[in-house]
Amino acid sequence: MTGINDRKNKSLLTQWTDIATRRKIEHLDVRYFDPCSDATMPVSLYTCKTLVHLRLSWVAVANFEVVSLPCLKIMHLECIRHLTEPTVEKLILGSPVLEDLTIIRDTSGERFIEVRSNTLKRIHKDSCTEVVIDAPLLEYLSTSVHFGKNFKIINLGCSTTLDIDSVYPRVTCTKPLIYDILTDIPRFRGLVTSRYILKELIKDLRYKKKNREPKLMFSTVPPCLVSSLKVVELIRLVPRYRGEVELVRYFLNNSQILEKLRLDTYYTKGQSVIFLKIFALPRCSSACEVIVL
């Protein structure tokens, strides 16, 4: 359901949404093509008993006292006008089976949001929103960052994957940011990241390398490597950096319960000597499997 910028369409959009929610629909996608929109969603939306998938973009939420969305599993909130922390909290608390949450904020919305849910499995957020996460069943967190980490973990699933990228990688992908991610997030079991962040790790290894056996990147090994990390996926190893083998060695040497290390490489068959080096590296975890894609 879409709308364009005029008063009549704003009113009709609200009416259509109200009619749709009263007809026991399961999927609702409402988008209003006007960044300055004040098209408001009807109160009936927040007590729809059959709604499973809700996507709202560039609209305003009504003032509501009660949220009861007993079947809602997927909620996508994109550029919602004046989205506040209490509003998000009510929507989450009123969705007892919610599994997938996406928050992309409008510049007029609050930057800080708390996400507390015993059912959430996936969170997707933008780079501007700062979140505190209490989600014991969380399996996947996707975010972008600017200059610093924009999320804080209170409670987390036992096998959560962090998918993180930098918005302006050539400017903001700094060593302090990388170290903050690796040293302050000890409970993530999987990490998916961009080639820019990986490149900074490799460069750091390269410049600090004095002997064939590399020194640690950190003064101490991050706790996540020692006791929690089970899966490492290196997407597109960076060409022409000698430190990439040392990066792989670092993970293998320090991850005691590592189960899989997957490499997405650029190498050709003529460069297969690099594979032999990687497969010959000693492993701290006897159960670790190295997979080259």
Mean pLDDT of 71-99: 93
CB proximity list for 35: less than 8 A, separation 6 or greater: 58, 79
Given this structure, which CATH class describes domain 1-111?
Answer: alpha beta
- The radius of gyration computed from the CA coordinates of the chain, to the nearest angstrom, equals 23
Q: What is the pLDDT of residue 124?
A: 94
In this model, does residue 168 exceed pLDDT 70? no
Q: What is the DSSP string of 42-71?
A: -GGGGG-SS--EEEEES-BPPP-S----TT
Q: What is the pLDDT of residue 91?
A: 95
Mean pLDDT of 149-153: 82
On the CB side of 4, CA atoms within 13 Å amount to 0
Q: Tell me the pLDDT band of 1, cut-offs 50, 70 and 90.
A: low
Taking only the tens place, the pLDDT of each residue in 208-245 is 554 444 444 445 566 666 677 888 887 655 555 556 77
Taking only the tens place, the pLDDT of each residue in 22-48 is 998 999 999 887 666 678 899 999 999
Q: Where along the chain do its domains lie?
A: 1-111, 177-293
Mean pLDDT of 103-122: 84
Q: To 5 degrees, how large is the angle CA 60–CA 65–CA 71?
A: 80
Mean pLDDT of 179-193: 66
